[in-house]
Amino acid sequence: MPPFQFVDWWGRESHHGTSVVVKMENPNWSVLELESPDGDFQTGNKERGRNAKQLTWVLLLKAHRAAGCLAWMAHGLWAVLFAVKRRLSTSPGSSSFANRPRKGKLYRAIIFVLAFALLMLCFELVGHYKGWHFYTPHLRMPHSPDLQSLLQSVYLAWLYAREHYLGPSLQALANACIFMFLLQSVDRFTQCLGALWIKVRRIKPLPHLESFELGDVEDSEAEYPMVLVQIPMCNEREVYQQSIAAAAHLDWPKGKILIQVLDDSDDIEVQDLIKSEVQKWQQNGMRIVYQHRVVRTGYKAGNLKAAMNCDYVKDYEFVAIFDADFQPQPDFLKRTVIHFKGNDELGLVQARWIFVNRDENLLTRLQDINLCYHFEVEQQVNGVFLNFFGFNGTAGVWRIKALEESGGWLERTTVEDMDIAVRAHLCGWKFIFLNDVKCVCELPESFETYRKQQHRWHSGPMQLFRLCLPHIVSSKISKGKKANLIFLFFLLRKLILPFYSFTLFCIILPMTMFIPEAQLPAWVVCYVPALMSFLNIMPAPKSFPFIVPYLLFENTMSVTKFNAMISGLFQLGSAYEWVVTKKVGRASETDLAGIGQLTEQEEGLATTEQELPVPKLADPLQPHKKKVNRIYRKELALALLLLTASARSLLSVQGIHFYFLLFQGIAFLVVGLDLIGEQVS
């Protein structure tokens, strides 16, 4: 029988309220003592002399606070109900059955667990109401044939199966997940120690030379290498101008740089806009070319591969890659390419991202926490101690020789950046991460966009792991680097992390409420996750007020990451989905014009204000696809499962488990109703 007994709690006497003793003295009221339920009545001199007017004001203030609290709760409940109604009326698929998304196997599994939880909750309530409080040594099967005896027999059979079969199996799975959880926590704690060591010791990659410029003023540009700048884009109406302008203002000799605008847009109007923008900069003397593929295969990898096949690429030594929403500072190339000088083993220099819209809404704030930890801790520690990390796909400079020796861009996965980084590492090339070189970009502002991005980022590594494992084992790198790639880079951080996050906190924890023979200790449910969230949020100290929403949101995202990991590992259909991350275009005209003025002052350009093509934001009157907030069924099903488990936990008087399940269920409900990101009216 479970260690927590419902009978004892159910029959316990409870005290309602607190006793107040009031004494009449002359015409005034005097409060003598507030007596606790279990304590003896004591007289004292506390609060004597308080008159009736003072007591009335206290009561009025308390009533005012209570009314305000009730009004706030009513307003919040009304807002939630209105949001639910709006979601149900505007969600895609609500008007047409044919347009509804296909139900996946994971959704069916969650619905099965939810149905089981609801059935067990009803069964437990009926059992306790009927007084079926059985202990295992005293179980006796009834012999009368009536309906109540039949239900009692089913209840006894359920208790027996729970104790001898379901409980041990669930506890074994929980123990395995707890071991994975502790292993991943140790890895994260070790990385944080490495980041702290780097910060205390002020470890920083330093180039062998300070500048490319020689003493000879007449030939100061001779030592500058040839650099190719690539800007891959696809239907980037909102950001194409600012990205091209930022690349055009890079501080590099004009004869030593070429900008490739790699447009994969299928919208003819967007193609014409980008062509026109490129022509403006060409007329202004900038070496920039426009390239559009007729056969658009391979997504971004195919786009970059086609660009590298151009004949003129052989004249260039390095290639810098920027996605369409990235805006490098004018000195980006001077601060990154200099590290290649005198370091022939260096294949990649990666810069850090910063976000122009991190304070836009709660979703962008939580993303900023994750990515600050990724760059400040993961990338920096791996770069300093291992000279290897996953290429972020943008804001980096590659040695073209390293790309060619590694096999170039391949279209076999949805994470072409990680693919080329792993293959370059197997070929012996080293990487450098520069935490002080920052490139401005955007974060997804809607949950739909963020969800699709995370699906691609977590399904691709599993595809890559299946393809690269034989090459890793047979490569010539050291055994330590092989172990790091297989066990840390892929298994622990890409497979085990999403697996235990979803299984432990979204399935096993609520099931332990209905199968109490299996238990999760409080330190697994609360204390260790809180510590890990604290470590994650340390690189972004201004985000400490969001530590609780961050912890809850990371658990809600585990269902998306788990689904993506499974689809990538077993090559399911959704593993090869590629959806371009939608941008809003948060950079203003003033910011981009300021870049142009700064470059003009430094280099003494002769262009006038009329000749300089100042970028403009996309016309807000242009027709766009209609946006709607969606309803996410897996998240809503998990919300119902966790809230059901919290109700069962309340019956069992489990404090910390109840609060975790309650708030985590509310978090799933908020995400399932798409209330966390951009709201469309």
Residue 359 annotated among the catalytic residues of the structure: no
What number of helices (H) and strands (E) belong to the chain? 23, 9
- DSSP single-letter state for residue 434: E
Q: Which helix (H) or strand (E) holds 67?
A: helix 52-90
Structure tokens at 142: 């009834």
Contacts (Cβ under 8 Å, ≥6 apart) of 319: 227, 228, 229, 230, 308, 397, 398, 400, 403
The catalytically annotated residue of 263, 325, 417, 419 is 417
Structure tokens at 336: 């990154």
- Beta bridge pairs of residue 258: 228
Secondary structure of 576-641 as H, E, C letters:
HCCCCCCCCCCCCHHHHHHHHHHHHHHHCCCCCCCCCCCCCCCCCCCCCCCCCCCCCHHHHHHHHH
Give SS3 for 375: helix
DSSP 498-522: HHHHHIIIIIIHHHHHHSTTS---H
CA distances from 560 to 264, 377, 417, 466, 567 (A): 28, 24, 21, 20, 11
Q: Tell which residue, 660, 668, 576, 581, has the closest CA to residue 631.
A: 668
Backbone φ and ψ of 450, nearest 5°: -65, -40
Backbone φ and ψ of 211, nearest 5°: -155, 155
Residue 417 annotated among the catalytic residues of the structure: yes
The catalytically annotated residue of 264, 323, 325, 368 is 264
Q: Does residue 256 contact residue 286 with C-beta atoms inside 8 Å?
A: no
Structure tokens at 169: 């199996």
Q: Which residues are tagged catalytic?
A: 264, 417
